[in-house]
Chain A
Amino acid sequence: MRNRSLTSRILLNVLAWSIVFVIAFPLVWMILTSVKPQFELFRIPPTILPQEVTFEHYHRVLVETPFLKYFRNSVILAVGTTVLVIVIATLGAHSLVRFSYPGRERLAQLVLFTYLLPSVVLIIPLYLLMVWLGIANTLFSLMLAYTTFALPFALWLLRSFMQGIPQDLEAAALVDGASRMEAFVDVILPQAVPGIISTALFTFILAWNEYLYALVLVNTDEARPLTTGVMNMLITAFNIEWSLLMAASVMMSLPVIIVFALLQKHLTRGFGAGGVKG
């Protein structure tokens, strides 16, 4: 960086950090609201920092609502989807990158196309399919539905990671006496581990945050994940208890924050490959 005067650097920092603060404010506000007593929310003028910190809303969310059940469903769903998708996509990406057979290029393009496909186009036939198979209203049906966006995403990202592994490594393993599968297991897979981990983390976040399929395919608390579950708490409540909802929101975001912290290092790579969809 070129030299700048001290004042202009201070100004720059103040400007940048004020913008960062404005952007982060809704999330700060979420946390602040969640620890304020209910009556404090309705003060006029409102308090910025809580005058009294309370965790009663967290306690109530956990004890009085089906939050824990939703949370469990979300964990099963996100982990299940991630494992399913990563296994299939790792094999598939390896095939797309290192093998040649008729139709391979077309398939790679199809992956990209499906990656951009809107869920609403697929949702009606998928709903009918799940009903027909008799698995509507189950976590498994959601897992299947989630592969529609998670699999193309994971394939595309893993493909770009695996293209970065030098061709010579596999060639060396083959010459050294490995079969192609052995070369994959002994040499390619260990090299792909960082890529697989970050793809898995991205996939986890995608599945954790999914809303539309959960809305359409599940209407029982037994299989409802957090996204639709927490939203239901808003809609069904007689009067909206914002502090309760904010407490639920904070807890719902915790896994994402943890995964996000783990991802920091690989973030750019994931984005660069057309990463995380929105």
Chain B
Amino acid sequence: MLLSSQYAALGVLLIAPTVLVFCAVIVYPLVSAIYLSLFSIYTPTLQGKWVGLDNYAKLLASGEFWGALRVTLVWTIGTLVLQLVFGIALALLLHQNLVFRSLARGLILFPYFVSTVVAVLVWRWLFNDLYGILNHVLLAAGLIDMPLDWLGQMPNAMVSLILVGAWKYFPFVVITVLARLQTIPDHLYEAAEMDGAGPVARFFDVTLPQLRDVLLVVILLRAIWDFKEFDLIWLMTGGGPVTSTQTLPLLVYRSAFGLNEMGGASAVAVLMMLVMLVFMALYIRAQRQE
């Protein structure tokens, strides 16, 4: 056998386990999800009947799908903007000469690594209407004169979600931006300073353009991940009050395992993926350009 074919065969052999697992747990389920979305399936018995595109027609005609899409967008944009603002600000701050800088970095990253379950438990305790420290502090400071219901009413529930989401995920922005900041050569700042640029001008004229590429990647990645977030929202509010914080992933879960309508749930999942494909394609393109 030719040397190059031998090598190619070895390469294929090495990737074979990956391909096998991919086919079994990703490709097959993915195709299957599209297929299932054409059926009406009752979850407990798994009995299904072919309904064609009915599930999609019903969804697109229902307020529930559009409502969930709107909630998802509000949540994604809200939390993403906060993550970016806090993330970039903190990255700039941490880039300075701080005492115990690595400790500060470690503490800031921790929310990101801690399990969502832990994060939610802690925040639900902080948000507790009677004994939660947040209400106590705000009452004592005179900012509110009645304990707030953080999760049980709108728009509080969405605001709380967005805040907790920002708290949990902004470290990703911090660390990626910080890594990029550290590679901006000092002489750029020195040159700008000599040209008479003040701190604000230096940020907009030197720092921000240098961060452009990394910010694009960060925004795309975080947008994708926030869009598909399930754990945090499900555990914080369960989609409530009623369905006012029910995002698309929650709608999928609830249709499949709450309303026992697996076909309809698959249709939601497929539609949700179609929306995400736009971001995914953009991200994959950005990666290829690197």
A residues in contact (CB < 8 Å) with B: 1-2, 9, 12-13, 15-17, 19-20, 23-24, 26-27, 29-30, 33, 41-42, 44-46, 87-89, 91-92, 94-96, 98-101, 104, 107, 109-110, 112-114, 116-129, 131, 144-145, 147-148, 151-152, 155, 180-181, 205, 208-209, 211-212, 216, 226-228, 230-231, 234, 242, 245-246, 249, 252-253, 256-257, 260, 264, 267-268, 271-272, 274, 276-278
Residues of B within 8 A of A (CB-CB), count: 95
Q: Is the CB of B230 within 8 A of A119?
A: yes
B97: chain A residues at CB < 8 Å are: 1, 9
A120's partner among B121, B168, B249, B284 (CB-CB below 8 A) is B249
* A267 and B109 within 8 A (CB): yes
**B113 pairs with A27, CB closer than 8 A:** no
Which residue of chain B is the closest to A12 with respect to CB atoms?
B96
Contact of A211 among B8, B22, B24, B231 (CB under 8 A): B231
Contact A16 B93 (CB under 8 A): yes
- Tell me the nearest residue of chain A to B139, going by C-beta: A45
Q: Give 19 CB contacts A-B under 8 Å.
A: A27-B110, A45-B140, A95-B11, A100-B11, A101-B8, A107-B19, A113-B284, A118-B272, A120-B230, A123-B252, A128-B32, A128-B46, A129-B32, A147-B21, A148-B26, A211-B117, A242-B128, A253-B114, A257-B110
Cβ–Cβ contact B125 & A120, under 8 A = no
Determine whether the beta carbon of A23 is less than 8 Å from that of B122.
no
Residue of A nearest to B190 (CB): A2
Q: Which one of B29, B168, B252 has the greatest number of beta carbons of chain A within 10 Å?
A: B29
Report chain A residues within 8 Å CB of B222.
Answer: 278
Q: Provided the pairs A212-B230, A271-B176 are in contact, do residues A15 and B93 lie with their beta carbons within 8 angstroms?
A: yes
Closest A residue to B193 using CB positions:
A2
> What mask results when residues 97 to 123 of chain B are scored 1 for a CB within 8 Å of chain A, else 0?
111001010111111111111110111
Cα distance, A8 to B30, chains bound together (Å): 56
Say yes or no: is B131 at the interface (Cβ < 8 Å to chain A).
Answer: yes
Residues of B within 8 A of A271 (CB): 172, 175-176, 179
Interface pair A260/B110, CB less than 8 Å apart: yes
- Tell which of B17, B108, B229 has the most Cβ of chain A within 10 Å: B17
**Known A99-B10, A209-B116; 8 more pairs at CB < 8 Å:** A17-B98, A27-B111, A118-B228, A118-B249, A123-B253, A208-B115, A242-B131, A257-B110
For residue B230, which residue of chain A has the nearest CB?
Answer: A212
Residue B38 interfacial (CB < 8 Å): no
Q: How far is the CB of A20 from chain B (nearest CB, A)?
A: 5
Q: A24-B107, A94-B14, A278-B169 are in contact. Are A227 and B96 (CB under 8 A)?
A: no
Chain A residue contacts of B269, Cβ below 8 A: 118, 120-121, 124
Q: In the complex, what's the smallest C-beta–C-beta distance from A67 to chain B, in angstroms?
A: 13
Q: Are B136 and A45 in contact (CB under 8 A)?
A: yes
Interface residues of B in 250-290 (CB under 8 A from A): 252-253, 256-257, 262, 265-266, 269-270, 272-273, 276, 279-280, 283-284, 287
Partner of A89, one of B18, B25, B121, B235: B18
Inter-chain contacts of B283 with A (CB < 8 A): 112, 116
A120 touches B272 (CB 8 A): yes
Residues of B within 8 Å of A144, CB to CB, are: 24-25
| Contact among A26, A120, A212, A228 with B123 in the assembled complex (CB-CB below 8 Å) | A26
Beta-carbon contact of A26 and B112 below 8 Å: no
* Interface contact A180-B10, CB-CB below 8 Å: yes
Q: In the complex the two chains form, what is the Cα distance from A23 to B106 in whole Å? A: 11
Contacting residue for B118 out of A88, A110, A249, CB 8 A: A249
